[in-house]
């Protein structure tokens, strides 16, 4: 699904973040990316999203080099990015309306997509219900809690049926109970083999709970990926279980070596 080949990237005036970095992510896998601040977690996500370009090397999704944002990739950011003058339903419909305006041009919408207004409305209903915010569909962002705004941002992305879902610390600004509730909801994606998900996080428990595979990045330039195969992802909602805690300890030790 995602092939990172000999990737090198640096910001002007700063040491390189990646050099000759190679990584392979299979379709349907759920990954989390964790590491110290400034290690390149968000940068790697933006490179996959086509919002930044590698200095050298390449990133391919479904065999096609990423040269710009692709319509089948969904991106959820920490700051929600909702239109303040639009309701929950209108915000959720935004991407679908853009696709309807441009048509299946391969840039704003996949070339093989079929634009159908009733299907769009049905999709919005489905995801608003699934995320538990259907009763808020006529509310504006200013009337919502932070958790409800983040659910709206997630719904807006999921109605587009992305094959790759990229999420940049989507729950970090939320209170613990709401964060855990949304993490539990997101584990349903593990049962959706058509969707590949990659979540950037700074939280060890979240990385273990959500990621079938965990990529740990180093404070220094990353040349080789440090990957933990994680069988505890969504295995239990009991985060006090011994196996879950041991995996968290293993990840903590790895991060200590990389810091």
pLDDT confidence bin for 247, thresholds 50/70/90:
very high
Residue 77, pLDDT score: 84
CA angle 156, 160, 214 (to 5 degrees): 80
- The C-alpha angle 256, 258, 259, rounded to 5 degrees, equals 70
Instruction: Please give the pLDDT value at position 234.
Output: 66
Are 68 and 251 in contact by the 8 Å Cβ rule? The answer is: no
What pLDDT score does 236 carry? Answer: 58
Tell me: pLDDT of 253 over 90: yes
- DSSP secondary structure letter of residue 222: B
Residue pair 198/187 in contact by the 8 Å Cβ criterion:
no
Joined together, the tokens standing for residue 250 give 């293993």
- State percent of the chain over pLDDT 90: 65
β-pairing verdict for 196-200 and 164-168: parallel
* 200-243 pLDDT per residue, tens: 999 999 999 999 999 999 999 999 999 999 987 765 567 888 88
pLDDT at 179: 80
Q: What is the pLDDT of residue 157?
A: 92
Per-residue confidence (pLDDT) for residue 192, from 0 to 100: 59
pLDDT at residue number 62:
92
- How sure is the predictor about 50, in pLDDT bands with cuts at 50, 70 and 90? very high
Query: 1-72+163-259 and 79-161: same fold?
Result: yes
Q: What's residue 194's pLDDT?
A: 75
Structure tokens at 10: 């640096």
79-161: CATH topology is: Rossmann fold (3.40.50)
Model confidence at 58: pLDDT above 80: yes
pLDDT in tens, 78-125: 777 899 999 999 999 999 998 888 887 777 778 787 778 898 999 999
Q: What's domain 1-72+163-259's superfamily in CATH?
A: P-loop containing nucleotide triphosphate hydrolases (3.40.50.300)
Better pLDDT: 165 or 79: 165
Q: Indicate whether 190 pLDDT > 60.
A: no
Burial 137-172 (b: 16+ CB within 10 A, else e): beebbeebeebbbbbbbbbbbbbbebbbbbbbbbbe
Q: Order across the sheet with 73-76: list the strands.
A: 73-76, 164-168, 196-200, 30-34, 213-216, 226-229
Could you state, in order of their start, the residue ranges of all structural domains in the chain? 1-72+163-259, 79-161
DSSP E strands, 118-240 = 164-168, 196-200, 213-216, 226-229
More confident residue, 57 or 185: 57
Q: What is the arithmetic mean of pLDDT over 128-145?
A: 94
Beta carbons within 10 angstroms of residue 115's beta carbon:
14
Contact partners, residue 47, CB within 8 Å, separation at least 6: 7, 9, 53, 54, 59, 66
Question: In terms of pLDDT, which residue wins out, 238 or 251?
Answer: 251
Per-residue model confidence (pLDDT) at position 191? 59
Single pTM value for the model? 0.90
């Amino acid at each position: 699904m995602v092939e990172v080949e000999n990737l090198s990237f640096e910001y002007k005036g700063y040491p390189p973040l990646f050099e000759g970095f190679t990584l392979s992510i299979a379709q349907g896998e759920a990954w989390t990316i964790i590491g110290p601040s400034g290690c390149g977690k968000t940068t790697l996500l933006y490179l996959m999203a086509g919002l930044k370009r590698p200095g050298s090397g390449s990133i391919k999704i479904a065999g096609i080099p990423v040269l710009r944002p692709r319509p089948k990739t969904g991106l959820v950011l920490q700051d929600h990015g909702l239109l303040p003058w639009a309701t929950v339903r209108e915000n959720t419909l935004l991407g679908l309306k853009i696709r309807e305006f441009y048509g299946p041009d391969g840039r704003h919408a996949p070339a093989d997509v079929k634009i159908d207004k009733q299907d769009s409305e049905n999709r919005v209903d489905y995801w608003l219900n699934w995320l538990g915010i259907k009763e808020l569909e006529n509310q504006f962002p200013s009337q919502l809690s932070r958790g409800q705004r983040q659910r709206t941002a997630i719904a807006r992305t999921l109605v587009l049926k992305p094959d790759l879902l990229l999420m940049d610390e989507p729950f970090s600004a939320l209170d613990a109970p709401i964060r855990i509730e949304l993490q539990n909801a997101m584990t349903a994606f593990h049962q959706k083999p058509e969707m590949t998900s990659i979540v950037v996080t700074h939280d060890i428990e979240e990385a273990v709970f959500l990621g079938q595979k965990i990529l740990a990045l180093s404070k220094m330039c990353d040349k080789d990926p440090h990957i933990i195969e994680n069988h505890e992802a969504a295995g239990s909602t009991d985060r006090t279980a011994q196996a879950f805690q041991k995996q968290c300890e293993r990840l903590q030790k790895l991060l200590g070596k990389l810091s």
